[in-house]
A and B are shown apart, each in its own frame.
Chain A
Amino acid sequence: MNAAVQPLSSLPGPPLWLLLELTYRCPLHCVFCYNPLEFERIDQELDTAEWLRVLEEARALGAVQLGLSGGEPLARDDLEIIVAEAHRLGFYINLITSGVGLNESRIAALKAAGLDHIQLSFQDSSQTLNDFLSSTRTFELKSKVAALIKEYDYPMVLNVVLHRHNIAHVEEILQMADRLGADYVELANTQYYGWAWHNREQLLPSRAQLQAAEATVQRFRERAGRPMQIFFVVPDYFERRPKPCMNGLGSIFLTVTPDGTALPCHAARMLPGLEFPNVKTTSVREVWYASTGFNHFRGDAWMKEPCRSCPEKARDFGGCRCQAFLLTGDAANADPVCDLSPHHHLVVEAVARADARGEEPAAMPMSERPLVFRSPANSSKLCP
């Protein structure tokens, strides 16, 4: 499907959400990272002027929410310049960070540049597990950064990715968030892409672990005291219907990866047979309206059964294309999370294996399939 032959009325709306993955460099080595396994091969980063041009072109199309992510965006020493230009253009700017590198002089400079919001990730409530899961010693530092975020009058938004190794600590995680003065806590169950997909058998919790975590969250929500909003992002493997991933590919979301590749979602690089243009050589307008990478999964012409005739297709868009591809080998299949999918058993079986492992994080012999940390060395080893 080509944008040029679509009737005008079906032209997609603007890319309201722009995510810039400024760099794949990261001081952390998280086992659940969604970055591609081959990140080490993608070592060319856009320069400052190229990022500023992307901002200007995307803003002209109507982009307004801006995520600055990575890798660790603070690894770019031009972050303040990028933020200042985004602010001048009228973006609402969200920094998605591990906190590593956020000292007082940088947070002051970012505030002055117009940064609107900081989302700080923790890996666990305990120093031991936080540091183990990220393969770093960062827990103390993150606690200091949390204090800086409060001091500079930002809403305090903590993000903790949940999985088998920390899901039993939800109570302690919420207590930690409360101690740090969090306004919002996002408990994001791992989504299985990139490194998380590679480590899935080690990370997927059992249904009983998940239900216990949900009950804890509910108790915490009902407690009296300081207001703290808790978002519990339900892991789709335990659902019977897929998530409306990205609100449909190419509908509102545009990611630009460190090397300038434009994607309709942060994991889409894996989808075969599509052309994902590079913003170095293609304007953001052309990327959004005229590339197969963005046009192919718009609308529903690409759908197969059971999605094509499904009354729910307008609500969930057939789920996640990347998950369909990872699990079934064909990105046009229904997301196997859906119990109407002929491949749903693949999800059921993965959950059954997790259930059989019970509660213990280490019940699966590490020798059988060890956790692989996201590191340049492991990236080169897995994707030579």
Chain B
Amino acid sequence: MVARRFRLQWEPAQNAHVLLYPEGMIKLNGSAGEILKRCNGESTIADITTDLESAFETTGLMNDVKAFVALAVDKTWVVIQG
């Protein structure tokens, strides 16, 4: 799930999802925003991938999702729950 210290929010003026944190903001690109908004603390990476593939009518996203989630964990945006 998105780490407690961050707040994910859609910003119409920026046409993007952003991550808000104390005195700062990260503007996310389209795919990052779509993945993060599915990190709800319940969905597995497989769930998120399936949901994205059906929403965007495509396949083979698993590796992209895994790579981004690894990056997001590394940046402390996301916490993996056991």
Contact = CB atoms under 8 A, between A and B. Distances in A.
Nearest to A252: B25
Interface string B42-77: 000000000000000000000000000000000000
Interface in B19-44: 20-25
Interface string A111-131: 000001101000000000000
Interface in A61-81: 61-62, 64-65, 67
Best-buried of B9, B12, B18, B20 by chain A (most CB within 10 Å)? B20
A155 B14 contact: no
Is the interface on chain A under 10, 10 to 19, 20 to 34, or 35 or more residues?
10 to 19
B25 A14 contact: no
Contacts of B14: 14, 16, 62
A65 B23 contact: yes
Contacts of B11: 62, 64
A157 interface: yes
Contacts of A116: 7, 20, 22
B5 A155 contact: yes
A184 interface: yes
B7 A92 contact: yes
A184 B5 CA distance: 12
A90 interface: yes
A67 to B, nearest CB: 7
Contacts of B23: 65, 67, 94, 117, 119
Best-buried of B11, B18, B23 by chain A (most CB within 10 Å)? B23
Contact of B13 (A62, A92, A117, A157): A62
Given A92-B7, A116-B7, A155 B22 contact: yes
Contacts of B24: 65
Contacts of A67: 23
B14 to A, nearest CB: 7
B20 A64 contact: yes
Interface string A7-18: 000000010100
A158 to B, nearest CB: 12
B22 A16 contact: no
B5 to A, nearest CB: 6
A184 B9 CA distance: 23
A157 B5 CA distance: 12
A119 B24 CA distance: 13
Interface in A303-340: none
Nearest to B23: A94
Nearest to B12: A62
Given A16-B25, A94-B22, A61 B13 contact: yes
B25 to A, nearest CB: 6
Contacts of A117: 22-23
Contacts of A119: 22-23
Contacts of B22: 94, 116-117, 119, 155, 157, 184
Nearest to A15: B13
Nearest to B25: A65
A266 to B, nearest CB: 14
Nearest to B20: A92
A14 B11 CA distance: 11
A155 B23 CA distance: 12
A290 to B, nearest CB: 18
Contacts of B13: 14, 61-62, 64
7 contacts: A62-B11, A62-B12, A65-B23, A90-B9, A92-B21, A116-B20, A117-B23
Given A14-B14, A184-B22, 14 more contacts: A62-B11, A62-B12, A62-B13, A64-B13, A64-B18, A64-B20, A64-B25, A65-B24, A65-B25, A92-B9, A92-B21, A92-B25, A119-B23, A157-B22
Interface of A: 14, 16, 61-62, 64-65, 67, 90, 92, 94, 116-117, 119, 155, 157, 184
Interface of B: 5, 7, 9, 11-14, 18, 20-25
The 10 A-B residue pairs with the shortest CB-CB distance, nearest first, are A62-B13, A92-B20, A117-B22, A14-B13, A94-B23, A65-B25, A157-B22, A64-B11, A155-B22, A155-B5
